[in-house]
Amino acid sequence: MKGQIIVETEDLTKKYGSRTAVDHLNIKIEEGEVFGFLGPNGAGKTTTLLMFLGLTEPTSGRAKVIGFDPTREPFKVKEKVGYLPENVGFYDDMDARQNLRYIAKLNRISGGVSEKRIDYWLEMVGLSEESTKKVGTFSKGMRQRLGIAEVLIKEPKLVFLDEPTIGLDPDGTNRMLDLIHSLSREKNITLFLSSHLLDQVQRICDRVGIMINGNLVAIGPIDELAKKKLGLGKEDYTLEEIYMKYFKEA
Ligand SMILES: Nc1ncnc2c1ncn2[C@@H]1O[C@H](COP(=O)(O)OP(=O)(O)OP(=O)(O)O)[C@@H](O)[C@H]1O
Ligand SMILES: [Mg+2]
């Protein structure tokens, strides 16, 4: 790895009763990379994200996110870190623009700057035409797009995305993947996304990590994992083949 480390954990562990959701996780994420966090349902991906955001406390171990411990300084982390949860919540009786204004205000972005950013992000996610519609009438994909705009309006350094393309149509998916990639390459934003859609992950991620039963069983660039798991000389590998090998061995 070459760049600055933006997320780092040391034996990060979360137990719910006798069940260990995340087991001694040690991971380093580099500034500006697109990182794919993979694993079956219940593997501990969302739990890990919640600990990175200070939304749930680790049972033991620690995390450092943009230089802060999210348990001790959650507000420092939230100021610079964006999060798109699995289910995004909005004020349904307000329109898209009003929702974004509200978030801008919460983040203390001044009026002039916020209107410009709102126009920009509504356009980027393809919602300019629907900006005055009440969000309660939005389709699932429209809500997902607004969620992304809401995350990006505060121009975070680091963004956690839990299943960012769920519910998007094929055009919306392509736009979202291009947007994620360009945020990394043009703005040096770090993107950490959890997803089950492995063809999409393969398209945009620099590295992936595979969690199974709370354990990180693999981490690295996809081509390196391919060499390790599928052998040399296999050029036309898919991430799904690699993933399934790890999954079956776990
Ligand atoms: N609030 C909670 N209370 C008790 N157990 C929980 C809680 N949240 C998560 N768990 C358990 O922790 C484990 C990890 O769950 P988590 O939501 O992190 O999985 P995930 O990898 O995000 O799965 P998915 O792919 O389905 O989103 C599961 O066994 C789950 O049942
Ligand atoms: Mg989850």
DSSP string, 181-244: HHHHHHH--EEEEE-S-HHHHHHH-SEEEEEETTEEEEEE-HHHHHHHHH-TT--S--HHHHHH
Measured from the Cβ of residue 179, the count of other Cβ atoms closer than 10 Å reads 20
| Average pLDDT across the chain, whole number | 94
Residue 168, pLDDT above cutoff 90: no
CA–centroid distance, residue 101 to ligand 1 (Å)? 32
Residue 166, pLDDT above cutoff 90: no
Q: Which ligand is nearest to the CA of 45?
A: 1
Using one digit for the tens of pLDDT, what is the confidence trace for 74-84? 999 998 999 99
Ligand 1 atom 5 nearest Cα: 16
What pLDDT, on the 0 to 100 scale, is given for residue 50? 95
Residue 1, pLDDT above cutoff 70: no
Task: Confirm or reject: Cβ of 43 under 6 Å from ligand 1.
Answer: yes
CA–centroid distance, residue 181 to ligand 2 (Å)? 22
Predicted TM-score of the model (pTM): 0.93
Q: Which ligand is nearest to the CA of 44?
A: 1
Task: Confirm or reject: Cβ of 39 under 6 Å from ligand 1.
Answer: yes
**Which residues are 155's β-sheet partners?**
none
Residue 153, pLDDT above cutoff 60: yes
Ligand 1 atom 9 nearest Cα: 47
- CB 100, CB 122: distance < 8 Å: yes
**Which of 15, 38, 46, 215 for a ligand 1 pocket mutation test, highest count of atoms within 8 Å of Cβ?**
46
The residue-averaged pLDDT of 196-215 equals: 97
Q: b/e map of 139-157 (b: 16 or more CB within 10 Å)? A: eebbbbbbbbbbbbbbebb
Residue 54 tokens, joined: 């200070």
The residue-averaged pLDDT of 147-157 equals: 94
Ligand 1 atom 30 nearest Cα: 42
Using one digit for the tens of pLDDT, what is the confidence trace for 90-146? 999 999 999 999 999 999 998 889 999 999 999 989 999 999 999 999 988 899 999
The residue-averaged pLDDT of 27-32 equals: 97
| Helix or strand holding residue 151 (H, E) | helix 140-152
Residue 11, pLDDT above cutoff 70: yes
Percent of the chain with pLDDT over 70: 99
Using one digit for the tens of pLDDT, what is the confidence trace for 175-198? 889 999 999 999 999 999 999 999
SS3 164: coil
Task: Confirm or reject: Cβ of 47 under 6 Å from ligand 1.
Answer: yes
What pLDDT, on the 0 to 100 scale, is given for residue 111? 86
Q: Which ligand is nearest to the CA of 42?
A: 1
CATH superfamily of 5-88+160-249: P-loop containing nucleotide triphosphate hydrolases (3.40.50.300)
Hey, where are the domains in the chain?
5-88+160-249
Cβ neighbors of 7 (< 8 A, separation 6 or more) are 27, 28, 29, 52, 63, 64, 65, 66, 158, 190, 192
Task: Confirm or reject: Cβ of 117 under 6 Å from ligand 1.
Answer: no
Please give the Cα distance from 191 to 239 (Å, whole number).
19
